[in-house]
């Protein structure tokens, strides 16, 4: 019996999707719920599982094709044994079994390796790399994206033209729109993180044992940002037509970098979350983002965003607003720098911070005062607990 493999229901507001990668080819045996292909939308990656056990009889839509919800992309011969993998049309190929497999065939087989992460499988497929020839340097000898790219080699003056992914194109569109439709300005300050670092060093082991979550810097910054947003509600607002919408809740977006681009999952009601809940939720979001498992619901909304370029070594930058939000906080690298304290020069762990804001609804006084509030809260983190 032939069974169609159909595109699942797409998230709300998503009209269609693009087939990013096929992990099976005609003649391959599949098991029920095994991932057959990845679908890319403007924001999320979706997997399409096999509806039944059987053999791929026909692929109706190839990689790169644009498909819609409920559209058939392949046909599976349900319950067909592996011996039926080849059809009559493939008879000539059967006579060549004694020949060495073509590189493309080896590549197709390699992309189904379950030990490879989804991002690595995509790179393998894009560059037609045989992973059997790649030495893995990851944990336990796992093959990483860098290993695959290194194996491709770099000839002199090579060029490769590839279309933007849907997500990258959407990111480009949104960033350009923000620069053209907002009056964006950026204000800067610097924070002495000595007390935050001392507190973190004292309690991080006990924190991890108690809450099963790593104590990072982001939870301190989110707590400080929420308190500052309470004091300066315009930074937590957005423009809707000719109205200013003041949000009475604090949904904080945290920018996460992935192989496919930057995504911003949202911590709902961050003001009601403990530091342990913030850290564990961020860690969960990071794993889901890098595996392409974030849902539309997890990325929609948000009243304010925090991005951390410091993890990549950035010393200073001007973050771009995440429309329709009116403010975004940029964290940067912690650097040991000389500063003046009580008339003496001392070395302290300093971080430059940047607040980009929409000047249409946020005045310079409020933007500077907001950033100063975050600075004061983090330089004396006890104030976060006392809310003073």
Q: How many CA within 13 A on the CB side of residue 109?
A: 10
> Looking up tokens 């499988």, which residue turns up?
121
Separation of CA 172 from chain center: 15
Strands lying side by side in the sheet with 66-67: 45-49, 35-40, 17-22, 66-67
Helix (H/G/I), strand (E/B), else coil: 70? coil
First to last CA, the chain: 69
Whether 358 sits among the annotated catalytic residues: the reply is: no
Q: Which of 101, 121, 120 is nearest to 111 (CA)?
A: 121
Please tell me the total number of residues recorded for the chain in this structure. Answer: 388
Q: Which of 89, 98, 85 is nearest to 57 (CA)?
A: 85
Cβ count near 43 (within 10 Å):
21
Residues 6 or more apart whose CB falls under 8 angstroms from that of 255 comprise 262, 263, 264, 305, 306, 307, 308, 322
In order, the DSSP letters of 318-381 are: -PPP-TTBSEEEEE--EEEEEEEETTEEEEEEEEEEEEEEETTT--HHHHHHHHHHHHHHHHST
> Looking up tokens 């490769």, which residue turns up?
160
Whether 359 sits among the annotated catalytic residues: the reply is: yes
d(CA 252, CA 331): 14
CB 71 within 8 A of CB 197: no
* Axis-axis angle for helices 275-290, 194-211 (nearest 10): 80
d(CA 42, CA 18): 9
Active-site residue identified among 332, 363, 366, 380: 363
Return phi, psi of residue 37, to 5°.
-155, 160
DSSP classification of residue 79: T
Active-site residue identified among 240, 271, 359, 380: 359
Which residues are tagged catalytic?
359, 363
């Amino acid at each position: 019996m032939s069974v169609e493999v159909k595109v699942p229901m797409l998230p709300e507001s998503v009209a269609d999707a693009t087939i990013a990668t096929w992990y099976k080819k005609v003649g391959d045996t599949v098991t029920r719920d095994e991932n057959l292909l990845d679908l890319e939308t403007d924001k999320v990656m979706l997997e399409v599982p096999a509806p039944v056990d059987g053999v791929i009889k026909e692929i109706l839509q190839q990689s790169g094709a644009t498909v819609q919800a409920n559209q058939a992309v392949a046909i599976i011969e349900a319950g067909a044994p592996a011996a039926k993998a080849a059809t009559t049309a493939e008879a000539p190929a059967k006579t060549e079994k004694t020949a060495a497999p073509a590189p493309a065939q080896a590549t197709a087989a390699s992309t189904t390796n379950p030990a490879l992460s989804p991002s690595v499988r995509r790179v393998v497929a894009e560059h037609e790399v045989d992973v059997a020839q790649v030495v893995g340097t990851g944990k336990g000898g796992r093959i990483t994206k860098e290993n695959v790219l290194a194996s491709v080699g770099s000839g002199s003056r090579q060029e490769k033209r590839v279309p933007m992914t849907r997500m990258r194109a959407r990111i480009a569109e949104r960033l350009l729109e923000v620069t053209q439709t907002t009056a964006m300005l950026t204000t800067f300050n610097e924070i002495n993180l000595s007390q935050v670092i001392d507190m973190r060093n004292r309690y991080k082991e006990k924190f991890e044992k108690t809450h099963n979550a790593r104590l990072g810097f982001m939870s301190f910054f989110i707590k400080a940002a929420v308190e500052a947003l309470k004091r300066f509600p315009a930074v937590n607002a957005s423009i809707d037509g000719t109205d200013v919408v003041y949000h009475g809740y604090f949904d904080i977006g945290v920018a996460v970098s992935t192989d496919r681009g930057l995504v911003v999952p949202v911590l709902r009601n961050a003001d009601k979350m403990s530091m342990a809940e913030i850290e564990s939720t961020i860690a969960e979001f990071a794993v889901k983002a890098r595996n392409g498992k974030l849902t539309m619901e997890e990325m929609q909304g948000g009243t304010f965003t925090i991005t951390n370029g410091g993890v990549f070594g950035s010393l200073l930058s001007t973050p771009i607003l995440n429309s329709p939000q009116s403010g975004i906080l940029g964290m940067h690298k912690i650097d040991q720098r000389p500063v003046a304290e009580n008339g003496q020069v001392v070395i302290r762990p300093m971080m430059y911070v940047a607040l980009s804001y929409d000047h249409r609804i946020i005045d310079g006084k409020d933007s500077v005062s907001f950033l100063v509030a975050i600075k004061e809260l983090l330089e004396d983190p006890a104030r976060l607990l006392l809310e003073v």
